[in-house]
Amino acid sequence: MKKIFLLLAVVGSAILSSCEGDRGPQGPAGTNIESEVFELRNVDFAFDNTEGYIIRNDLNPQILLADNILIYRMTGTIDSNTPIWQLIPRTLFLQEGELDYDYDFSRVDFTIYAGGTFNLALTPEYINNQTFRIVIIPGFLSNKGTKSVNTNDYNAVINYYGINDKKITILN
């Protein structure tokens, strides 16, 4: 009896797996999502009475809910082809006091903040002509995690996620 059921199961699955029906409707167009790098070059923070010094920019196209963003500030250069990138949030301890860079983001935009324990207008070199790199890491890469990569190291992040930072889109 068991052999008959086994034989019917094998024959039935072979017949059903070779069935073909009408083709279904075309699904929605897919989105080609990949890791990207954007750059804000030589931008000034604007003063907002509510939020302090900010830089706000839209994301176009919008990112997905599971996507993540890392933002790096250029702190200097080794030579004309080798910038030095520092992950924010970051606190700088200056003679005038503490200066903090931070950011937040949504699917549609991001905001970079500069705040401190002193009047930032006294140190325009920290709020004017700033350059930032915005690294978008798609959610489908989240299975790689960020614990395996030193996110403080811009080049390590670019290499780990296979991001081509030679094709950088300038946002300003």
Residues 6+ apart with CB under 8 A from 145: none
Residues 6+ apart with CB under 8 A from 128: 44, 45
Q: Where are the alpha helices (DSSP H) in the chain?
A: 2-17, 154-160
24-64 pLDDT, tens digit each? 554 444 444 457 899 999 999 999 999 999 999 998 888 99
Q: How far is CA 56 from CA 6, 59, 100, in A?
A: 65, 10, 16
117-155 pLDDT, tens digit each? 999 999 999 999 999 999 998 887 655 555 678 999 999
Pairing of the two strands 97-105 and 109-116: antiparallel
CB 117 within 8 A of CB 97: yes
User: What is the mean predicted confidence (pLDDT) over 100-107?
Assistant: 97
> pTM value?
0.77
Confidence category of residue 164, pLDDT binned at 50, 70, 90: confident
What is the structure's pLDDT at 14? 52
User: What is the mean predicted confidence (pLDDT) over 76-101?
Assistant: 95
What is the structure's pLDDT at 32? 42
Report the C-alpha gap between 93 and 28 in whole angstroms.
51
